[in-house]
Amino acid sequence: MNVLGIETSCDDTAAAVITDGTIIKSNIVASQSDMHKKYGGIIPEIASREHFTSLIPVVNEALEQASLTYKNIDAIAVTNGPGLAGSLLIGVNSAKGLSMSWDKPLIGINHLEGHIYSAWLEDLEPDHQAGFPLVCLIASGGHTDLVVMKDHLDYKLIGKTRDDAAGEAFDKAARVLGLGFPGGPEIQKMSEEALETVAALPRPAIKDSLDFSFSGLKTALVRKAEAEGFYPVIDNNGPSRQQTTEYSFAFQEAIVDCLVRNTVKAVSENNAKGVILGGGVAANSRLRQKMNDAMDVPVFVPRPGLCTDNGAMIGAAAFFNLQNGLPFELDMDAIPNLRMGIT
């Protein structure tokens, strides 16, 4: 089965053709990050306008790269939440238009479910290699969720952030350290250069809970930066290269340790047979390494390009959702606050 996966929930315009939920025939991502860089964050209005102009060319490129025409597509899948309302609407309405004009089934997919199903792409297939239950950590710009997956499409949310998401914390810390947007990759790069470490930053924990909290960690970084006199920046008093690298390292270690600590606990409490990492923060090499070191069950992590937003993960998740039939969800809504695994 060939599924065209469309993803426009945030600032990446993406489309992919996925065969049988695991084989990537094509995967095109038009990133808008250069456009948003100068504002230090995503401007929703700009994001939706960019999706509007890029989406159909991106879909055409995905078909071309797969050497297919629309006639070979068996179903269209589109992210219908969570995400930015204007961005989601462009994807959902374009997918409806394609479904009607091509006469192809249409299904809406939860973006977070997509991040989980990235782990089924390119032969990782955790169900075959480890089996259920699996613990999934989705750490991204908007979410930090721990989910138990008892079977395909069977999710229970067991932990979430109470304030900032892990990716959001990286992005905010990068601003304090004078780094660009998105902050996660910049902080990772700087950390690799750190020769010495400054005193450790706190690792916030919530008693008797698998929830996360990152806003206090960000405040701790701001207080240190103020004490050292490199923040707020007035008259070129910004951090030295050494301060940037050392604080990047300290900040990354603190976030990674919180993510690993709660995931280890989730695995043991749920007798999980494996762990899936997904979302943009799962691209972080230190997180991948420390999670692997801490686990005695297999850890499944898509390659970095499949951790950040893409259409391939939407096509993969759709395949498993389409096993029970081929719907035409033409009355589908874009749902900005769509959740997953809450009973």
Ligand X SMILES: Nc1ncnc2c1ncn2[C@@H]1O[C@H](COP(=O)(O)OP(=O)(O)OP(=O)(O)O)[C@@H](O)[C@H]1O
Binding site for ligand X (CB under 6 A): 9-10, 83, 111, 140-143, 167-168, 170-171, 182-185, 188, 279-281, 283-284, 308-309
Q: How far is the CB of 333 from Mg ion (least distance, A)?
A: 19
What is the rounded distance in angstroms from the CA atom of residue 69 to the CA atom of residue 233? 54
Nearer to ligand X, 211 or 309 (CB): 309
Nearer to ligand X, 108 or 183 (CB): 183
* Tokens encoding 228: 């050292």
Of these, 145, 186, 211, 309, which contacts Mg ion (CB under 5 A)?
309
**What is the rounded end-to-end Cα distance, in angstroms, of the chain?**
31
- Asked if 203 and 189 touch (Cβ cutoff 8 Å), the reply is no
Nearer to Mg ion, 105 or 311 (CB): 311
Q: How far is the CB of 276 from Mg ion (least distance, A)?
A: 14
Q: How far is the CB of 143 from ligand X (least distance, A)?
A: 4
Q: Using only C-alpha atoms, what is the Rg of the chain?
A: 20
Burial of 83 per CB tally in 10 Å (0-12, 13-18, 19+): buried
Nearer to Mg ion, 190 or 282 (CB): 282
Handedness of CA 49, 52, 57, 58 (dihedral sign): positive
Which of helix, strand or coil describes residue 235? coil
Q: How far is the CB of 266 from ligand X (least distance, A)?
A: 19
Which of ligand X, Mg ion, none does residue 36 bind to, with CB < 5 to 8 Å depending on kind?
none
Is residue 140 at the binding interface for Mg ion, with CB under 5 A as the rule?
A: yes
Is residue 7 at the binding interface for Mg ion, with CB under 5 A as the rule?
A: no
- Asked if 337 and 88 touch (Cβ cutoff 8 Å), the reply is no
Residues in touch with Mg ion (CB under 5 A)? 140, 309
